[in-house]
């Protein structure tokens, strides 16, 4: 299957999500690498996602706290976070959010030798290579959408 085919499958899944929930899926994209963040945010927007960019852990934490405080207004459907996000380990923020009930599907951007990969298996995170994220994000997106989004109850 080509990258174009995978992208179309992601777009189809997003359309199905919009039809089911009445809004585009919200993504918090947390990476301090400006070039990667801008490029990946555009790729996600092209596929139909509503993207909040977080260049620092403060922004990621703020988005998580808003989602926990007012989930109807600030729900997060997907987290795409870099293991080297400036400010703190994003794994701590994800672990905290999950303990508080926020079960957003999560993709961790990491290198092959990244220590965060070990912790990511405990948190059941999908791993995507930081160096090839733009080229391979669709495969990771499809995995988390199939696993996480199909388990949700139908919105009232």
pLDDT digits (tens, 9 = 90+) for 66-95: 999 999 899 999 999 998 899 988 888 888
Spatial contact of 7 and 138, defined as CB atoms under 8 Å apart: yes
Q: What is the pLDDT of residue 131?
A: 87
* Long-range contacts of the stretch 120-124 (C-beta < 8 A, 24+): 120/83, 120/91, 123/91, 123/94, 123/95, 123/98
Question: Is 102 a domain residue?
Answer: yes
* Res. 117: pLDDT tops 80: no
Question: Is 155 a domain residue?
Answer: no
Domain count, the chain: 1
Question: Is 154 a domain residue?
Answer: no
Residues above pLDDT 70, as percent of the chain: 86
Q: How confident is the model at residue 122 (pLDDT cuts 50, 70, 90)?
A: confident
Question: Is 156 a domain residue?
Answer: no
pTM: 0.86
* Res. 2: pLDDT tops 90: no
Question: Is 91 a domain residue?
Answer: yes
> What range defines the domain where residue 104 resides?
3-149
Q: How confident is the model at residue 1 (pLDDT cuts 50, 70, 90)?
A: very low
Domain CATH number, residue 93 = 3.40.50.2300
């Amino acid at each position: 299957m080509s990258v174009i085919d995978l992208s179309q499958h992601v777009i189809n899944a997003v359309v199905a999500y919009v039809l089911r929930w009445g809004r585009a899926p919200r993504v918090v994209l947390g990476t301090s690498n400006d070039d990667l963040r801008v490029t990946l945010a555009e790729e996600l927007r092209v596929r139909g996602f509503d993207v909040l960019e977080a260049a620092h852990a403060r922004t990621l934490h703020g988005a998580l706290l808003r989602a926990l405080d007012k989930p109807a207004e600030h729900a997060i459907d997907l987290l795409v976070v870099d293991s080297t996000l400036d400010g703190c380990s994003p794994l701590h923020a994800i672990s905290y959010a999950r303990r508080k009930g926020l079960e957003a599907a999560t993709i961790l951007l990491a290198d092959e030798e990244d220590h965060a990969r070990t912790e990511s298996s405990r948190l059941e995170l999908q791993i995507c290579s930081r160096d090839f994220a733009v080229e391979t994000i669709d495969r990771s997106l499809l995995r988390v959408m199939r696993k996480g989004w199909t388990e949700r109850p139908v919105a009232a």
